[in-house]
Amino acid sequence: MAEIMYPYKKYHYKVLVEQKEEAGFSEVSAPDISSDPVEYREHNIGGKVPGRQLGILKYSHVILKRGTTQSHIFVDWIKAIQDGKPSRKTVVITLMDDEMREAASWRLENAWPTKYAAPDFNATSREVAIESLELVCEGIARTK
């Protein structure tokens, strides 16, 4: 009889920036990879269907969200961009199993922030103040 393999739950994860767990995150958007095909047609090839070739690879932006604390990791990283000194870093997102063992990992290569958002404010709300950092990267690889 085949062993049943249950999928992992998505709420156990950690994020490392340059091999350090700098902060806990309440939400991390999924990294994805896409390639738009390039269509072509040569004059001497008959038919109504164009040929296709591999296009440029595209890597999605990844958004990290966390409760605002006294940590300045997001602000310091985006400040480097403001100062014209971008700091590209390796970011690893790791999904954990129920026993908190590493189950799957995705590595973002040469990531840097493209957008920082401070929390919104509302005097009638009891929600946690959430700040976010949007990262762009030059490569995504599943490493585990």
Q: What is the DSSP letter of 3?
A: P
Mean pLDDT by 10 residues, the chain (144 residues): 85 90 86 89 71 89 92 86 89 93 95 93 92 94 92
Residue located via tokens 């310091």: 76
Task: Record the tokens describing residue 137, joined without a space.
Answer: 């990267």
Amino acid 111: pLDDT: 95
Please give the domain boundaries of the chain with CATH numbers for all domains: 13-36+53-142 (2.30.110.20)
* HEC profile of 38-80: EEECCCCCCCCCCEEECCCEEECCEEEEEECCCCCHHHHHHHH
What is this structure's pTM? Answer: 0.82
What is the rounded distance in angstroms from the CA atom of residue 59 to the CA atom of residue 135?
Answer: 10
